[in-house]
Structure 1
Amino acid sequence: MKKDNIVLEKSFRFAIRIIRLYQRLKETQHEYTLSKQMLRSGTSIGANVREGNNAESKADFIHKMGVAQKEADETIYWLELLKETDYLTINEFDSMYHDADELLKLIRSIIPTAKNNR
């Protein structure tokens, strides 16, 4: 993985955190439904960023970043549900939310830049 691609690196690191959180929720709290949804959307962010990084066209890149943006927002939704149902502590939520929100903002800034550079 190239180290100079910030969104690629951050989305990969976030996916690792999501996987570890999912494993903990599954093992210690026996929570499978919400956390599985969080796992899917949280790891999909990086997968779509990586696909966008290898896009065939600028339009394809913008589309993949748009999907990554939706997945980041969905991940925040699942994190909020897990917090409100007491599966996540405030500290766990705050830490994960901060990273997810940072990714969402980063992706949201990439999309208009890419559109303007078409």
Structure 2
Amino acid sequence: MSGEKDGIDNPVREKSFAFAIRVVGLYKYLVNEKKEFVLSKQLLKSGTSIGANVEEGIGGISRKDFRAKLSIAYKEARETKYWLKLLHATDYIDEKAFDSMIEDCEELLKILYVIVKKAGE
């Protein structure tokens, strides 16, 4: 499976990696500036897991394996959305940061949903 999906120009791979970098940056801010250690750790785990599962899926040995890993990536993106909303609602991140991060997360969710649906056909 990796041959057809392992190209360098892979939008979901690129977007999930870029999102993970943003999540790491937000995590550092939350820990260093806001002294928040619990919610931020949850965000770090789920937000970086999206790209890790995409990468595993790309390297999958079958269509079923690919779909399973991208389904996990989708679920991790949903979880990340939850943590972002909670951090915003509890005033750990401001409106501007929240809007930017949630927009990227929503974009990943849409892409992953389409991929998982098509892989299941």
TM-score range, shorter chain: over 0.9
Looking at structure 1, the residues matched to 97 and 115 of structure 2 have their Cα atoms a distance apart, in angstroms, of 27
TM-score (norm 2): 0.93
Looking at structure 2, the residues matched to 102 and 4 of structure 1 have their Cα atoms a distance apart, in angstroms, of 17
Partner of 1:48: 53
Looking at structure 2, the residues matched to 76 and 2 of structure 1 have their Cα atoms a distance apart, in angstroms, of 28
Q: 1:65 aligns with which of 63, 70, 76?
A: 70
Looking at structure 2, the residues matched to 113 and 62 of structure 1 have their Cα atoms a distance apart, in angstroms, of 9
Runs of 4+ in 1 over 6 A off after TM superposition: none
Looking at structure 2, the residues matched to 93 and 2 of structure 1 have their Cα atoms a distance apart, in angstroms, of 31
Aligned residues: 116
1:1-118 mapped onto 2 (5 Å cutoff): 2-116=7-121
What amino acid does structure 2 have at the position aligned with 1:78?
Answer: W
Residues 81-117 of structure 1: per-residue CA shift (max 9 Å, x gap): 000000010110000000001001100000111112x
Shift of 1:3: 3.6
What amino acid does structure 2 have at the position aligned with 1:56?
Answer: I
Partner of 2:3: none
Shift of 1:2: 4.5
TM-score (norm 1): 0.96
SS in 1 for 2:120: helix
User: How high is the sequence identity, in percent, across the aligned residues?
Assistant: 52
What amino acid does structure 1 have at the position aligned with 2:36?
Answer: E
